[in-house]
Amino acid sequence: MSLEPPPDQDIVVVGASGDLAQRKLLPALYNLSREKLLPTRGAVIGTAPVDWGDQQFRDHAHQAVATFSRTSVDDAAFATFAERLHFVPLSGDDITPLQQHFTQQRRIVYLAVPPSAFSPLISAIGTAGIADDTSIIIEKPFGRDLDSARQLNAELHSVVPEERVFRIDHYLGKETVQNLLVFRFGNSVFDRVWTRDAISRVEITVAETLGVDGRGRLYEEIGAIRDIVQNHLFQVLALTAMEPPISFEPEAIRNEKVKVLRAIRPIDPEHVVRGQYTAGTVGKESAVAYRSEPGVSPDSTTETFAALRLQVESWRWTGVPFLLRTGKRLKVRDSRVVIVFRDVPLHLFREVGVEAMESNRLVVRIQPDEGIALSFSAKQPGPDVTAQDVHMNFNYGSSFRGSPPEAYERLLHDALHGDHMLFIREDEVEAGWSAVDGILKEPPPVEFYAAGSWGPKDAARIAAPGHWHAAENEV
């Protein structure tokens, strides 16, 4: 991430009254402004189908920052930020009224809108005659399947070239996800064991305690495989499994990620478990069933949980299962990568009563407790030979004396600089959809699980003969 301000340009947020803008974009832009990492010159222009003026937009931004920013509101810093904020109410796809508010020759347009609105807005940018000086940021999911992803890519390229398209997956902006690259390729001790000869399996988990959070109608059209597996999980998988790039240039890294996704063998439906939460208790809070959420069909078969077992057919990974799972209303919020190393070839300690020893594990914690831990066996103090799992633990906050910046701050700043390293290229999108296309067309039946559990019982079959490793001792 460059510490220099990006080139002068305007920032247009389409959907500025929505949840994404409130929770993520406006706080991120405020923090970039506070740290002098926005363009020196350029407006932040919000638009949405609401009857607001500039002052109402500024009040909305102030509330968003006060509620969701990682830093508190500094009155002077916010006043400086607010000078950039302007609002243009738009109720249709005609964006030409925005042009009278442009202050710079170039601009970046963030489509913070539902996927169904992408196509008409992309077309509107072309019709308005501003495409030559415009870059576009779009949020996942990028299409609903392989065919729609190809169509969306074609629509984008009919208006702007690929180098001015930024497909954003906020997981790639998380410091611990980026740290996978440094950890793997900056430490020879781990690079030498990052292979099928030393690793028995790789687990990637994205567990959430929240439900659909009022987005039932939208989630009915998406489901866990489209929402998390095809993007978040596959992006983390690609960074975990990729070969060393020839350089740290964006395209060199993205080339290696694409190779991983293309190497995923067609997924056997028998290696997929889909689930949907029923009523239960998460923590101390009662949770209704997914089918009772607003906007959800009473006989819905949309999955809120998915577990998959897949193979990456490459020289490094052949024979190593990759186990992926994600779910809503699970027991704890926990996103992590677990590298399980192969067992020792001979258990020397069985004769002295040590019957079970866990395999060594390397755990990359993505959220909420960002860090990396290595587990290994050690002898407990005392006259008997008794082994116990112990951990060497790196914690991001305590080691660097601060919390990492929000993912959207990094990603917005990179997009303003034109840096594509943490954004998804068109062939990455299509390779990811290709891997899940078969199970989307013929999905396994949905199994039910109680809110507050670890998902359907059958998910244990995906991890067999081992078991899932999560943030609790029970696993």
**Residue in 21, 457, 370 with CA at minimum distance from that of residue 173:** 370
Sign of CA dihedral 191, 193, 195, 199: negative
Q: What is the pLDDT, as a whole number, of residue 221?
A: 87
Expressed in angstroms, the distance from the first to the final Cα of the chain is: 37
Residue 133 confidence (pLDDT) above 60: yes
Q: What is the pLDDT, as a whole number, of residue 203?
A: 96
Is 79 strand, coil or helix? helix
Residue 293 confidence (pLDDT) above 50: yes
pLDDT tens-digit readout, 206-259: 999 999 988 888 899 899 999 999 989 999 999 999 999 998 888 999 999 999
CA distance 224 to 449: 14
The DSSP 8-state label assigned to residue 82 in this structure reads H
pLDDT tens-digit readout, 39-97: 999 999 999 999 999 999 999 999 999 999 999 999 999 999 999 999 999 877 788 89
Q: What is the pLDDT, as a whole number, of residue 290?
A: 97
Q: What is the pLDDT, as a whole number, of residue 448?
A: 97
Which amino acid belongs to residue 309?
R
CA distance 239 to 253: 9
Q: Give the torsion through C-alpha atoms of 251, 254, 256, 262, to 10 deg.
A: -130
pLDDT tens-digit readout, 166-204: 999 888 888 778 888 888 888 888 888 999 999 999 999
Residue 349 confidence (pLDDT) above 70: no
Is 101 labeled as catalytic in the residue annotation? Answer: no
pLDDT tens-digit readout, 323-336: 999 999 999 999 99
Which CATH class for the 172-463 domain?
alpha beta
Contacts of 21 (CB under 8 A, 6+ apart): 13, 15, 46, 64, 112
Which CATH topology does 10-139 take?
Rossmann fold (3.40.50)
Q: What is the pLDDT, as a whole number, of residue 181?
A: 86
CA distance 270 to 309: 9
pLDDT tens-digit readout, 356-373: 567 889 999 888 888 888
Return residue ranges of the chain for CATH 3.40.50.720.
10-139
Largest interatomic CA distance in the chain: 82
CA distance 372 to 392: 8
Q: What is the pLDDT, as a whole number, of residue 92?
A: 75
Residue 148 confidence (pLDDT) above 50: yes
Position 123 confidence tier, pLDDT thresholds 50, 70, 90? very high
- Catalytic hit among 60, 62, 86, 232: 232
Cβ 237 vs Cβ 229: under 8 Å? no
CA distance 320 to 310: 9
Q: What is the pLDDT, as a whole number, of residue 124?
A: 93
Q: What is the pLDDT, as a whole number, of residue 348?
A: 63
**Among all chains, which residue has been given the structure tokens 């969701």?**
68
